[in-house]
């Protein structure tokens, strides 16, 4: 099976986010990491390859700095990577980014494209579905299990309120992967060493024929207004704990 | 502004968020139409016809009996081309996540997904969250419609849907290609051994706990309070606690007297599962964590210091 894992680099979870001066995006974060659902998508791709043979190609659109995430994917076991290098990806809308990825993917003719169900930064949750439509592939979203079955696959979709559903799909297909589908591996020392000699093909959006157009414009980024007034309990930890316990006894009345 | 609302139902029952989306549309425009797609939608269409709508579109086909992205995309995209609305609204449900982006793409448009606020300010302004609720962003739809958006829970209020009367336009789709995806019947994993919905007090732990071995300190607080232990999704994804203890859109929906969240950021998918709680208490080291937006009491601090101290204080009071 030839599997493409579309992964994205996002600001690390614990970094401070600062809105940039024109309030259109954020300043360069201090630390970055792979988008969490994408890590699960990559892991699932590696497991499918281990079970059925084939190849895993990591596909990433993002700035030069995203090579960190690409190297990690190669160290974990991806065979090679495609890096669509774009400094200002936020100038493309959802459709634009999916066009970039679809154009890069089309040339590879993969059997399966796996990606996270949404990103931790933009959170649109659309990239996989839009790619499928652009490529004419079948798709399924919020996937918690993938099994090869005859010439196609059977997947387990997560539905709302604790329900699930199996869906049979022909290949080629796009799946958007939910966090928790598998247990993530760590890169081994050997893997890190091997990654250095693996191929990373660099492309640009312009080379793929996708101009930075947005029919939906991001107008302004800002910190949300607090809607409800929270009673903040200040002081050192011991004092905070004592006051909260008193509140539980006297105001909330559960002690 | 002509708005088309794509309603969602399964087996004859409406998805509650459809009504919220409809109410949001009514608040924005006097010209709202609603679409229901399915196999036998007669009664559903009748119910819609008693709302303040310009028209109800009932899209009928045996191919729509079970949801598939292929059939629903073809149906809704076709309807949008015929109806020509300025704005198409979906509830931001799992089902919409699966096909609304596909509809927009087929028509060469961009869906603005997971919108939390919608207003008309010299054109349509759609607010959505970035970075799991840490920041907000306003998006503007440029140029002529149709524009597409999916609305998060709570944008409109289901009980605010205005009554009225509307004509029903039934379209029987007799052609159409069978879906490439073949869906099987939905199922539940196992009967839930732990029912959090009945709990009076819940202590819930999030990724701020860092490691499985640390869960004990939160478990101890739950024991001291006589509370049930719950968790955010990553804790269950990592196998640190069983799935049955997960609260949120893909876990349980709870409404206890007290919900104490320790090391939980407050992503929307978590909030929808617990925001009905009577009193919410949040312990988080990040003053900007979205959980503080819905908390009644907040402690900005290190849970590794605050939680054990709280357990001790509670035991002191309880004697
Ligand atoms: C379709 C879908 C369904 C989902 N369903 C659910 C669901 O049902 N339930 C759910 O919970 N999530 C769900 N999620 C995931 C959700 O989007 C969030 O990723 C998740 O809720 C985050 O969990 P968290 O708050 O524990 O972790 P994080 O977002 O990583 O937050 C950790 C928090 O801990 C704080 N912290 C760190 N260290 C400390 C310390 N020492 N002391 C105090 N605080 C500290 C940090 O400041 C941070 O706010 C779903 C996502 C999707 C896309």
- Pick from B110, B281, B290: CB nearest A215: B110
- Tell whether A27 is covered by a domain: yes
Tens-digit pLDDT profile for chain B (319 aa)?
999 999 999 988 999 999 999 999 999 999 999 999 999 999 999 999 999 999 999 999 999 999 999 999 999 999 999 999 999 999 999 999 999 999 999 999 999 999 999 999 989 999 999 999 999 999 998 888 899 999 999 999 999 999 999 999 999 997 677 899 999 999 988 666 788 999 999 999 999 999 999 999 999 999 999 999 999 999 999 999 998 999 999 999 999 999 999 999 999 999 999 999 999 999 999 998 999 989 999 999 999 999 999 999 999 999 8
Look at residue A213 in the predicted model and tell me its pLDDT. 77
Look at residue B189 in the predicted model and tell me its pLDDT. 80
* Contact present, A3 and A111 (Cβ < 8 Å): yes
Distance A13 CA to ligand 1 centre (A): 10
- Tell whether A247 is covered by a domain: no
- Tell whether A232 is covered by a domain: no
Give average pLDDT by consecutive 10-residue segment, chain A, 255 residues: 98 93 93 98 98 98 97 98 92 94 98 98 97 98 97 96 94 98 96 97 96 86 83 97 97 95
- Tell whether A135 is covered by a domain: yes
Q: How many domains does chain A have?
A: 1
- Tell whether A221 is covered by a domain: no
pTM of the model: 0.95
Look at residue A111 in the predicted model and tell me its pLDDT. 98
| Helix or strand (DSSP H, E) at A239 | helix A237-250
Range of the structural domain that residue A177 is part of: 2-204
Residue ranges of B 230-259 with Cβ closer than 8 A to chain A: 233-234, 236-239, 249-253, 257-258
What CATH number is attached to the domain comprising A74?
3.40.50.620
Q: What is the dihedral of CA B77, B79, B81, B84, to 10 degrees?
A: -130
**Residues B189, B191, B197, B203, CA torsion sign:** negative
- Tell whether A209 is covered by a domain: no
Look at residue B319 in the predicted model and tell me its pLDDT. 86
Look at residue B191 in the predicted model and tell me its pLDDT. 65
pLDDT digits (tens, 9 = 90+) for B229-244: 999 999 999 999 998 9
> Does B187 lie at the interface with A, CB-CB under 8 angstroms?
yes
Q: Whose CA is nearest to atom 43 of ligand 1?
A: B284
**Residues B230, B235, B238, B243, CA torsion sign:** positive
| Helix or strand (DSSP H, E) at A243 | helix A237-250
- Tell whether A231 is covered by a domain: no
* Contact present, A133 and B180 (Cβ < 8 Å): no
- Tell whether A156 is covered by a domain: yes
Closest CA to B10 of B74, B78, B94, B86: B94
């Amino acid at each position: 099976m030839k599997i493409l894992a579309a992964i994205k680099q996002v600001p690390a979870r614990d970094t401070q986010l600062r809105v940039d001066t024109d309030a259109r995006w954020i300043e360069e974060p201090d630390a970055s990491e792979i988008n969490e659902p994408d890590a699960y998508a990559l892991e699932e791709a590696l497991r499918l390859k281990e079970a059925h043979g084939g190849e895993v190609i990591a596909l990433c659109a993002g700035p030069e700095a995203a090579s960190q995430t690409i190297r990690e994917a190669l160290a974990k076991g991806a065979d090679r990577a495609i890096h669509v290098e774009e400094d200002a990806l936020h100038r493309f809308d959802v459709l634009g980014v999916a066009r970039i990825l679809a154009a890069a993917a089309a040339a590879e003719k993969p059997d399966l494209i796996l990606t996270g169900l949404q990103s931790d930064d933009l959170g649109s949750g659309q990239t996989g579905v839009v790619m499928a439509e652009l490529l004419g592939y079948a798709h399924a979203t919020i996937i918690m299990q993938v099994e090869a079955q005859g010439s196609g696959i059977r997947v387990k979709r997560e539905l709302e309120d604790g329900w699930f559903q199996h869906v049979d799909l022909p290949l080629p297909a796009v799946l958007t992967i939910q966090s928790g589908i598998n247990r993530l591996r760590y890169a081994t020392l050997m893997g890190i060493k091997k990654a250095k000699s693996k191929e990373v093909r660099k492309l640009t959006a312009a080379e793929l024929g996708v101009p930075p157009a947005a029919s939906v414009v991001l107008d302004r980024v800002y910190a949300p207004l607090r809607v409800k007034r929270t009673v903040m309990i200040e002081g050192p930890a011991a004092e905070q704990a004592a006051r909260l316990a008193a509140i539980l006894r006297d105001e909330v009345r559960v002690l | 502004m002509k708005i088309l609302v794509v309603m969602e139902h399964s087996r004859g029952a409406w998805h509650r968020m459809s009504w919220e989306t409809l109410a949001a549309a009514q608040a924005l425009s006097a010209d709202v139409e609603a679409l229901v797609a399915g196999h036998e939608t007669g009664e559903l269409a009748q119910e819609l016809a008693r709302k303040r709508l310009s028209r109800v579109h009932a899209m009928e086909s045996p191919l729509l009996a079970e949801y598939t992205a292929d059939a629903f995309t073809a149906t809704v995209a076709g309807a949008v081309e015929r109806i020509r609305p300025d704005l198409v609204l979906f509830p931001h449900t799992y089902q919409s996540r699966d096909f609304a982006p596909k509809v927009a793409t087929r028509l060469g448009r961009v869906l603005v997904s997971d919108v939390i606020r919608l207003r008309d300010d010299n054109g349509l302004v759609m607010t959505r969250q970035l970075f799991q609720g840490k920041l907000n962003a306003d998006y503007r739809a440029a140029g002529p419609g149709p524009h597409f958006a999916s609305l998060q829970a709570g944008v409109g209020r289901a009980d605010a849907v205005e009554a009225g009367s509307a004509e029903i336009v039934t379209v029987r789709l007799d052609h159409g290609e069978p879906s490439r995806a073949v869906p099987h019947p939905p199922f539940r994993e196992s009967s839930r051994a732990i029912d959090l919905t009945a709990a009076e007090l819940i202590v819930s732990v999030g990724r701020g706990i860092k490691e499985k071995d640390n869960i004990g300190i939160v478990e101890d607080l739950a024991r001291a309070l006589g509370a049930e232990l719950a968790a955010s999704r990553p804790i269950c994804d990592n196998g640190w606690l069983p799935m049955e203890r997960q609260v949120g859109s893909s876990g349980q929906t709870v409404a206890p007297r007290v919900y104490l969240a320790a090391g939980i950021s407050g992503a929307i998918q978590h909030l929808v599962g617990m925001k009905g709680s009577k009193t919410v208490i949040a312990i988080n080291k990040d003053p900007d964590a979205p959980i503080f937006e819905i908390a009644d009491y907040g402690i900005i601090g290190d849970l590794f210091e605050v939680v054990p101290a709280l357990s001790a204080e509670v035991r002191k009071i309880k004697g």
